[in-house]
Amino acid sequence: MNIVSKSTVKKTTATALQPDYVATTGTVVNTGTTIQVNTSGNLKIGTTPYKLLQYHFHTPSEEAINGVHYDANVHLVHQDAKGRLAVIGVNFKKGAANPYLASFWNKLPAKKGASIGVNLPSLKELLPASLEYYSYAGSLTTPPCTEGVRFYILKQPVSISAEQLATFQKLFPMNARPLQPLNERVIKSSN
């Protein structure tokens, strides 16, 4: 999805993203198409509670903003009690090493199906200072590409070092789904 900021619909009252992530354990898995971290956490979107199911990485970013892809991104996949999915997308741009990634990045499993258990700091450490976002309805970008997913793509990127990016790209040089047409989707902006 290419998000064109000047074409977005500004929300008069944006729905707040309220992450409640704590330090926890997780399993880092090489799925054969990405690195996925199976872990737990809580999020409220407005008044609706969601549980974190997993998060996974793409390079370059799967969403472009004003035609520009970031170096990588992570999709945090959540589910509410009714089974509805909400994905928070966090973009990475090259800069300083990312401290959250540093907690497990040097242990990424190299073979499909391989996994390792890890201790993880609070996922809040991965989020940018601002939780302003673009939002749209779409589908999961990995099989089975389930429809009816609400995406919240954060506007502010976080850093990833060239070395951290190279570590991931050694396993997955390019694992982003091609940009999808907008079709009838409306992209909303939280501000």
State which residues form the domain around 10: 2-189
CATH code for position 7:
3.10.200.10
Distance CA 74, CA 186 (A): 22
- Tens digits of pLDDT across the chain (191 residues): 889 888 888 766 778 999 999 999 999 999 999 999 999 999 999 999 999 999 999 999 999 999 999 999 999 999 999 999 999 999 999 999 999 999 999 999 999 999 999 999 999 999 999 999 999 988 777 666 677 899 999 999 999 999 999 999 999 999 998 887 777 778 889 88
CA 47 vs. chain centroid, Å, equals 21
Distance CA 126, CA 140 (A): 21
Structural domain total, the chain: 1
Dihedral of CA 31/35/41/45: which sign? negative
Dihedral of CA 114/117/119/122: which sign? positive
